[in-house]
Amino acid sequence: MLKQSEIDRYYMARALKLASRGLYTTYPNPAVGCIFVRQGRIIGAGWHHKAGQPHAEIMAIANAGGDVKGATAYVTLEPCSHFGRTPPCALRLVHEQVARVVVAAGDPNPKVSGRGIEILRQAGIEVTEHVLEKEAWFLNRAFMKSIAGSTPFVTLKVAMGIDCGTALEDGQSKWITDERSRHDVQKLRAQCDAVITSLATVIADDPRYSVRYDELPRSARMKVGRHELRQPLKVIIDSRNLLLSAYASKLEELKIFSADHALLCCASSCDDLSEKKLNDHTDAVFFPKDALDKDGHLNLNKVLEYLGSRQIRHVLVEAGPRLADAFLKQDLVDELLIYEAPKFLGKTSRRVFALESPKILDNAVSMEVYKVRKLSHDLKIHLLSHDLASKLKAFEERK
Ligand code: AOF
Ligand code: ZN
């Protein structure tokens, strides 16, 4: 005989699988799944597809033919309590007379934040919380961080050989990692709202940083249609405003400016932030002088706050060592993904990072290992900031 807690984890794992189907399409909403179980049988299942469309609970009620009376609802996120684009799910669950609701993670949206659970309990519905909370929180980590704060979740991604070279001396870097790794990056980009890079990388490599449907792994193509794919906003850090002066002609030539929306982050000598439309898909934002450090570099936290104000939830940093180092040094990286190929690029190769060495080891920038996986020939090393790792540990300890 299985214990109730094991049964709860089983159905929640299935609800989480359903939730993940929305990962490419629900922005700015989280990806949520819901399953109704009555007398040991799944009677309805659903997931949130797109903002403005019904939430997971409502999809699952419809899938159950409208009758979920007396059932247990497994929901990966606390049911909402507010009128947003759609009415509150918590009230609907009460109205449908469900017997019990099992919730994985709370919804940190200030409009919800515990009120969904409260509505259910006040109506006499039994609520069990924190079932697979860590997994549910991690699935929506970008939503979870950004809805409750002012900055997006930051993923830094790098590709390197086994001796930490990221390009040969002359800049050759195509390709260090194999196709499987590059397709994995496509999947990551397809889930992000913005890619941040530096002017130096854009000039040196002329990257597109776009998502190509045909290069997505099959697992991703099963969850998103060709025409549903979102292209991340391309954010270019140009603290010296070179793309508006010396390199102005490049705005027409560089691939990154050719089709998708791009945002140039520039500096101004004024006290206020200003914005300017450069053409129908490229904008520039001029950060005030207090957003520059003593060397004239843009304060990256200010850039993140600005992106947060534009409802960007998840940014992917794809850049050379200088920008990558700056994000690391300023403690702005939530997770670091390293794609490591089993190749030696040699001692004259360009380093993937070039941080100053600390005087003592205790002061070294450090992170925690989350997962290490072998993709075809390469390793995918997934590291987390200490903050994020301890948050996850706290979820584990609550179990
Ligand atoms: C749920 N179930 O499946 C999702 C929820 O504008 P709306 O009406 O779509 O509401 C968006 C907010 O609802 C979102 O910010 C988050 O707090 C919550 N998402 N809630 O009960 C769902 N996707
Ligand atoms: Zn809802």
Residue 292 per-residue DSSP state: B
**CA-wise closest residue to 27 among 58, 45, 60, 53:** 53
Smallest CA-to-CA distance from 389 within 205, 159, 137 is with 137
32 lines ligand 1 (CB under 6 A): yes
Task: Give residue 295's pLDDT.
Answer: 86
Q: Coil, strand or helix: which one is 165?
A: strand
Query: Mean pLDDT, the chain, as a whole number?
Result: 95
The Cα 163–Cα 176 span in angstroms is 12
Q: Bridge partners of 126? A: 100
Band of pLDDT at residue 92, cut at 50, 70 and 90? very high
Ligand nearest to the CA of 109: 1
> Model pTM greater than 0.75?
yes
Determine the pLDDT at residue 81.
Answer: 97
N-terminal to C-terminal alpha carbon distance within the chain: 21
Residue of 51, 76, 71 whose CA lies nearest to 61: 71
Establish whether residue 55 lines the binding site of ligand 1, counting it when its CB lies within 6 angstroms of any ligand atom.
yes
Query: Ligand 1: which residue has its CA nearest to atom 10?
Result: 84
Residue list, CB under 5 A from ion ligand 2: 55, 80, 89
Beta pairing partners, 41: 38
Rounded to the nearest angstrom, the distance between the alpha carbon of 178 and the centre of ligand 1 is 38
Q: Which percentage of the chain shows pLDDT scores above 70?
A: 100
- Count of Cβ atoms closer than 10 Å to residue 175 Cβ: 11
| Residue with CA at minimum distance from ligand 1 atom 12 | 29
284 near 276, Cβ under 8 Å?
yes
Q: Which atom of ligand 1 is nearest to the CA of 53?
A: 9
Q: What is the pLDDT of residues 236-249, one digit of tens each?
A: 999 999 999 988 88
Residue 393, helix vs strand vs coil: helix
CB distance 80 to ligand 1 below 6 Å: yes
How many angstroms is it from 92 CA to the middle of ligand 2?
Answer: 9
Q: How far is the CA of 192 from the centre of ligand 2 (A)?
A: 23
- Bridge partners of 159, per DSSP, are 339
Residues 379/372, Cβ–Cβ less than 8 Å: yes
Q: If you measure from the C-alpha of residue 134 to the centroid of ligand 2, how many angstroms do you get, rounded to a whole number?
A: 20
Between CA 284 and CA 39 the distance in angstroms is: 58
Range 182-191 average pLDDT:
97
Q: What is the pLDDT of residue 399?
A: 65
What are 371-393's pLDDT values in tens digits? 999 999 999 999 999 999 999 99
Q: Which pair of tokens denotes residue 227?
A: 């025409």
- Quick check: 395 and 389 in contact, CB under 8 A? no
The reported pLDDT for the residue numbered 249 is 87
**Residue 34: what residue type?**
C
Q: Which of the 8 DSSP states describes residue 20?
A: G
**What's 78's DSSP letter?**
P
Whether residue 29 has its Cβ less than 6 Å from ligand 1: yes
Is the torsion defined by CA of 297, 301, 302, 307 positive or negative? positive
Q: Which residue type sits at 176?
A: I
135 is catalytic: no
For 305-357, write each residue's pLDDT tens digit: 999 999 999 999 998 899 999 999 999 999 999 999 999 999 999 999 999 99
